[in-house]
Amino acid sequence: PLQVADELVKVQVALSSIAGKRERIKILFKKIEDVIKYLDPQYIDRMAVPDAMKLQFILAEEQVIPSRAALLEQVKNLQPILDSASILAVPDHAAKLQRLSQIHIQQQEQRQDLTDSVKTLLEDYNKM
């Protein structure tokens, strides 16, 4: 690791000395720095929203920040429950639940058929 770092320093020094001799390379290195700056995801945020505006956003939310912090603390305290084996096993039980739901639907249909049949029998009995 130390040798790699030393070699990288040597390469950087060599590139810098080459770049110092040529004006076009100096310009290119400067443009690379600009491109890296523009590729930063926060660059647009810094350009679009001035610090004074950010301060106004924070001050406007000052009332609700403590309640949100309390909610986050509550979530943090309940995290062990979410990481419990019971919760983590939910995807395994989804297939079983699907099968049971299908059985339940079939039983509801059978119940409805049986109810209709009993109703018909009672109507026939009452007609006698």
pLDDT digits (tens, 9 = 90+) for 9-63: 888 888 777 777 777 777 877 788 888 888 888 777 777 777 788 888 888 988 9
In a domain, 24, yes or no: yes
Residue 108 in domain: yes
Domain match, 3 and 52 both: yes
- What integer pLDDT is reported at residue 29 of this predicted model? 75
> 58 with 81, same domain?
no
Is 97 contained in some domain?
yes
123 and 83 inside one domain: yes
58 and 5 within one domain: yes
Q: Does a structural domain hold residue 70?
A: no
Domain span at 24? 1-64
Structure confidence by residue, pLDDT tens digits, 73-94? 999 999 999 888 888 888 888 8
Both 3 and 60 in one domain: the answer is: yes
Reading the block at residue 61, the tokens are 């939310």
In a domain, 47, yes or no: yes
Nearest-angstrom CA–CA distance, 113 and 125: 18
How many domains does the chain divide into?
A: 2
pLDDT on residue 16: 77
Residue 124 banded pLDDT, cuts 50, 70, 90: very high
Under 8 Å between Cβ of 64 and 58: no
